Amino acid sequence: MKRFFPLLLGMALLSQLHAQTPLRVAAAADLEPVLPPILEQFRRATGIRAEATYQASAMLTTQIMNGAPFDLFLSADLNYPKKLIDAGLADAAGSADSSTPITYSKGTLVLWARKDSPMPPPSLDLLRNPALKRLAIANPDRAPYGRAALAALTSLKLYDALKPRLATAENIAQAAQFVDSGNADAGLISLTSALTPHMASSGAYFVIPRDLYPPIEQGAVIVSNTTQRAAAHKFLDFLLSPSIQAQLAKAGLTPVH
């Protein structure tokens, strides 16, 4: 019996170590103000710890393609997770169509400016104002909100005039930092950023009409080589639950149901 004790002890330690491994979530930058309390609620409800890394969706996609050890990807659009599905690196197992990312919310683009700015309040007219010297946007090559900003400016026939004045950030969170710090006069940012307590108190926003840019449908996939598929499924179910969808709505994301 003694010779089996070290083996049993080792197995118990491995089991405990596995149980302590958090669910690793690759999360789009627009979720940074939204996701932390949801992860904590998920831990209290299920006992499963989850940790998120926030970056532009394109950068997270590249990391997953290069083998980064994520279990779940919450993108700010459907294109990047679809790219991973097509490459055989992720799936939406459990949904009606496992070849299509699971849509968990829709994003909203807003124009934000500081309340102490000498510029007029945010509006479409502000974008046409020649006194607007620097406009912050997320990188359209990496961030879905950046593509939405570019589409909106193009729809308004303002892109050519504003192109030399664009302050391009790596992701939507950094775009918000640019304008909040005064390094830009205004910014085309996510509603999730604009609704944070700090941004809400220091600035004001204008909702960009939705017909000026394609829908920002935010999609989720499970990374194929995860060892925590069951936990990933539980988190997706939690994210899509009515109470959490209502919470997303208050934070600036349109629920999917």
What is the value of pTM for the model shown?
0.87
The tens digit of pLDDT for each residue in 150-205 reads 999 999 999 999 999 999 999 999 999 999 999 999 999 999 999 999 999 999 99
- pLDDT of res. 141: 93
pLDDT, averaged per 10 consecutive residues of the chain (257 residues), comes to 48 46 96 96 97 96 96 96 95 69 96 95 97 97 95 98 96 95 96 96 97 96 95 96 96 91
- Domain regions of the chain by residue span: 2-106+216-250, 109-207
Q: Do the domains spanning 2-106+216-250 and 109-207 agree at the CATH topology level?
A: yes
Contacting residues for 172 by C-beta, under 8 A, at least 6 apart: 28, 29, 30, 56, 76, 138, 143, 145, 146, 189, 190, 193
- pLDDT of res. 256: 87
Fold category of 109-207 in CATH: D-Maltodextrin-Binding Protein; domain 2 (3.40.190)
Q: Is-contact 38 226, C-beta < 8 A?
A: no
The span from the CA of 28 to the CA of 31, in Å, is 6
In this structure, CATH architecture of domain 2-106+216-250 = 3-Layer(aba) Sandwich (3.40)
